[in-house]
């Protein structure tokens, strides 16, 4: 009797389990599969949002890509090939923000884009800390491009890529008074080329205040603290050089103002007053920096 009861209970129990399993399979089929791992839906929704912003040519995509990091790369590859030039332009800004080799490959594609705005944006992103994966595209474009603004920015890019090929290309464009030549000289100095360094020092002694001003600023890019001794005398250079303010009004920054910013950068100075590229420093502030850097 007990065995019959147990068999009946077992049959009922097995039926319940079978029914539960069938229900689970039905739920799984209805929902399209197993539950996704925690965070996967969030990543997928971020991808979709990024793709939407890229398609709309919306620069808010840059913030989304920055938050996603490397996970943004697939969407950015799509963005770099979208039909609207604005979408491709935003993709370049996003790639520059996240950095890395994959981003460098996207920016390298941007240098070959059919739209000038995309090419300029790609060059601008590559002018600061360019990924190694973009080296060949940077150097090739610097040689072959006929677009002055693109080449000016890529001269700065080249300064991040040591090597004989880089030095040879930069030397080929380093003569003259135009912006490309000036940037090439700074890039050579950054790479430790003696002739490039000497040319930058000559620019610091130029009779043109704007050349001195721009060169002092460029020394931050060269990032050689030993050049601080060459900048210190320019704390006394009060020649007006660069118009500042809306529309380049009647206010002018002087060479000495630029010298303050560069010395703060090179020597990691801690000053009791704020510094930035728009400030015209008081005589008291200039005196403080002179005393601090003696």
Is 155 a member of any domain?
A: no
**Domain containing residue 257:** 213-294
Burial class from Cβ neighbours inside 10 Å (0-12, 13-18, 19+) for residue 215 reads buried
Q: How far is CA 245 from CA 206, 217, 240, 280, in A?
A: 25, 18, 14, 11
pLDDT for position 160: 98
pLDDT for position 246: 74
Is 245 a member of any domain?
A: yes
21 has a pLDDT exceeding 50: no
Of 212, 262, 274, whose CA–CA distance to 237 is shortest?
A: 212
Contacts of 129 (CB under 8 A, 6+ apart): 99, 160
What length is written for the chain?
Answer: 294
Q: Which residues pair with 253 in a beta bridge?
A: 242
Q: What is the pLDDT of residues 206-264, one digit of tens each?
A: 999 999 999 999 999 999 999 999 999 999 999 999 998 776 567 899 999 999 999 99
Is 249 a member of any domain?
A: yes
Q: What is the mean pLDDT of the chain?
A: 88
Is 177 a member of any domain?
A: no
105 has a pLDDT exceeding 70: yes
Of 164, 167, 168, 98, whose CA–CA distance to 133 is shortest?
A: 98
Secondary structure class of 90 (helix, strand, coil):
helix
Q: What is the pTM of this model?
A: 0.82
Q: What is the pLDDT of residues 36-54, one digit of tens each?
A: 444 555 566 889 999 999 9
pLDDT for position 249: 62
pLDDT for position 4: 45
Higher pLDDT, 16 or 268: 268
Question: Which residue matches tokens 């020597």?
Answer: 267
Is 124 a member of any domain?
A: no
Provide, rounded to the nearest whole percent, the portion of the chain with pLDDT above 70: 84
132, 104 contact by CB (below 8 A): yes
pLDDT for position 248: 54
Is 246 a member of any domain?
A: yes
In the structure encoding, which two tokens stand for residue 266, read together?
A: 């090179």
pLDDT for position 12: 39
Query: Across residues 140-165, what is the average pLDDT?
Result: 98
32 has a pLDDT exceeding 80: no
Burial class from Cβ neighbours inside 10 Å (0-12, 13-18, 19+) for residue 239 reads middle
- Give the total number of structural domains in the chain: 1
Sign of CA dihedral 259, 261, 266, 271: positive
Is 138 a member of any domain?
A: no
Q: What is the pLDDT of residues 110-123, one digit of tens each?
A: 999 999 999 999 99
Query: Across residues 47-67, what is the average pLDDT?
Result: 96
Is 47 a member of any domain?
A: no
């Amino acid at each position: 009797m007990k065995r019959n009861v147990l068999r009946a209970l077992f049959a009922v129990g097995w039926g319940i389990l079978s029914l539960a399993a069938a229900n689970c399979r039905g739920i799984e089929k209805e929902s399209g599969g197993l539950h996704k791992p925690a965070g996967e839906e969030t990543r997928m929704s971020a991808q979709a949002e990024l793709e939407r912003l890229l398609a709309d040519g919306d620069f808010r995509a840059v913030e989304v890509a920055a938050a996603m990091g490397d996970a943004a790369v697939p969407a950015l590859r799509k963005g770099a090939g979208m039909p609207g030039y604005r979408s491709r332009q935003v993709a370049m800004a996003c790639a520059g923000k996240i950095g890395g080799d994959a981003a460098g490959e996207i920016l390298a594609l941007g240098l070959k884009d059919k739209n000038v705005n995309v090419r300029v944006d790609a060059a601008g992103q590559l002018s600061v800390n360019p990924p190694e994966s973009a080296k060949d595209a940077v150097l090739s474009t610097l040689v072959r491009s006929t677009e002055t603004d693109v080449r000016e920015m890529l001269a700065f890019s080249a300064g991040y890529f040591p090597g004989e090929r880089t030095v040879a290309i930069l030397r080929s464009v380093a003569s003259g008074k135009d912006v490309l030549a000036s940037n090439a000289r700074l890039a050579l100095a950054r790479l430790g080329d003696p002739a490039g360094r000497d040319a930058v020092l000559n620019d610091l002694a130029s009779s043109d205040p704007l050349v001195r001003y721009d060169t002092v600023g460029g020394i931050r890019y060269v990032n050689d603290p030993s050049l601080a001794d060459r900048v210190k005398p320019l704390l006394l250079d009060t020649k007006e050089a660069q118009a500042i303010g809306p529309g380049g009004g009647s206010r002018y920054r002087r060479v000495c103002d630029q010298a303050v910013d560069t010395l703060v950068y090179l020597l990691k100075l801690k000053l009791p007053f704020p510094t930035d590229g728009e400030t015209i420093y008081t005589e008291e502030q200039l005196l403080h920096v002179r005393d601090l850097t003696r």
